[in-house]
Amino acid sequence: MVKYKLNLIDAIQKEEIEHKPALKKSSFLKLFFKKFLKILIILFIVGILIFSRGLITEESLIKEIPKASFWTGVARSLIFHERLMSGELSDRINLLILGVGGTEHDGADLSDTIILASFKPSTQEIALISFPRDLWVPIPNYGWNKINHANAYGKKTNNGAEIASQVVSEITNLSIHYFVRIDFAGYQEIIDTLGGIEVEVERSFVDPQYPGPNYTFRTISFKKGQQLMSGDRALEYVRSRHGTNNEGSDFARAQRQQKIIFAIKEKLEEIKIFENPQKSWILFNLIKKYFETNLSLEELISFSQKLKGLSSVNIINQTFDLSENSTIYSDMYNGTYILRTKTGDFREISSIAKNIFEKEKAIAAKQTKEKANIVILNGTYLEGLARAKSELLISKFNIIEIGNAEEKNYQENVIYDLTRGKKKSFLTELKKIIDGTVFESAPSNLLNYQADFIIILGKNN
């Protein structure tokens, strides 16, 4: 169930907005639906009174609405004045995303997904920092344990997400302003409601130990390439833990989880769901059923607007692994597999989280000293198209080959990023000149090119 703060209803009744602490929650939706019909009737009457008299400017609307005083707070807070979100003044809004198994899975309240999403409004960048579920951390009032137990412990006193937020805040030294918790059944139904999502599978893999019913196992597999995933299929993709081909770790799973989140965001924008009343209502009820958050309705609207134009180019992905330069290592505690920090504290994790946007800028600055290698292929019957486009790119890129694509039926430009996001500054510059759909893996017939980016031009030029 979604848990909203009452501050919006209070504001409507008191005709003022009072800012509540970020972690205080209440059942806004119950009150909302009780008043829903009355609100619609009032809004309908007020709309007729105002628009039938031709008073359609913002100034005249504010003058007329106070006559129906119940709506003063709504008009001023939702229509005309967007209130700042927590963290916005410091240019960083931090949202903790928790994914739990739910009642149909073992360890129903253990958070298998733990992602800190940090949004930087000034640059429209977002950083997704995934924490491995086995990370050994101190949990308030419960001592040291795996980080995925924080939600489960807090769930006993109905404040699991708050406890998890407190733990992440302590290890990153950042304020966690908001949280969203969803169980896996919610993932499935939402994705199915959207008609499935497009996901680029980077590596083929097989998992022979995927959890089945009654503590059994079954085998699942994925093939490399772009594919449309149903809710069930997407859930298998994010939950798989024993895959072959380097996909059998929590670190690989964290990367897949981030892919699914962005794919859902892309699909919401693609199908313009809020212009479809039937699907909007279904989605709203699913959110009510499976989500818990401390974002108020007002803040949800504000946040969705801020993220509306977010591009994959502006997404920074951070995961932790067991490589030589990693900040963590594997260990055993009383026969249990855990992950510890190499320093014994969390200062390195805190530094990564705090400076993640600056680190990305440093990487981008270093990349700009070099030129990226690109291949330009004509995917149409328009003669000279690749040559013409190369003239626009030659000053900023090393063009190593110009030619024709094997097929000539491309409707739009396609950009294959063979760096897998490692040269984001070049990709950003490339998209300014030649806009196109970006893929992080290319068909096998293109892999012979020793390039950073391969561009196939379509008819939309």
Domain 93-360, CATH class in plain words: alpha beta
Q: What are phi and psi of 7, to 5 degrees?
A: -60, -30
User: Does pTM top 0.75 for this prediction?
Assistant: no
Place of tokens 């798989």: 240
Q: What pLDDT sits at residue 105?
A: 56
How many Cβ atoms from other residues are within 10 Å of residue 374's Cβ?
A: 26
* Domain boundaries, given as residue ranges, for the chain: 24-80, 93-360, 373-457
CA distances, 147 to each of 10, 287, 339, 407 (Å): 36, 25, 10, 50
CA distance 311 to 307: 9
The beta strand positions in 212-260, using DSSP E, are 217-222, 225-229
Query: pLDDT digit string (tens) for 384-423?
Result: 888 888 888 888 888 888 989 988 889 899 999 988 877 8
Q: Inform me whether the pLDDT recorded for 198 exceeds 80.
A: yes
Place of tokens 């594919």: 227
Q: Inform me whether the pLDDT recorded for 425 exceeds 50.
A: yes
> Which residues make Cβ contacts (< 8 Å) with residue 57, sequence separation at least 6?
none
Query: pLDDT digit string (tens) for 56-98?
Result: 333 443 444 344 334 444 444 444 445 688 999 999 999 999 9
> Which residues make Cβ contacts (< 8 Å) with residue 339, sequence separation at least 6?
132, 134, 135, 136, 320, 322, 328, 329, 330, 331
Angle at the Cα of 86 from the Cα atoms of 84 and 89, rounded to 5 degrees: 65
Q: With respect to CATH, is domain 373-457 assigned 3.30.470.10? A: no
Q: What pLDDT sits at residue 267?
A: 83
Give the dihedral sign, CA 69/71/75/76: positive
Q: Inform me whether the pLDDT recorded for 367 exceeds 60.
A: no
How many Cβ atoms from other residues are within 10 Å of residue 270's Cβ?
A: 12
CA distances, 253 to each of 133, 134, 181, 250, 316 (Å): 11, 13, 18, 5, 17
Query: pLDDT digit string (tens) for 249-295?
Result: 777 887 787 788 778 877 877 777 666 777 777 777 777 778 888 88
N- to C-terminal Cα separation, the chain: 48
Q: What are phi and psi of 154, to 5 degrees?
A: -70, -25
Query: pLDDT digit string (tens) for 96-138?
Result: 999 887 655 556 788 888 999 999 988 888 898 989 999 999 9
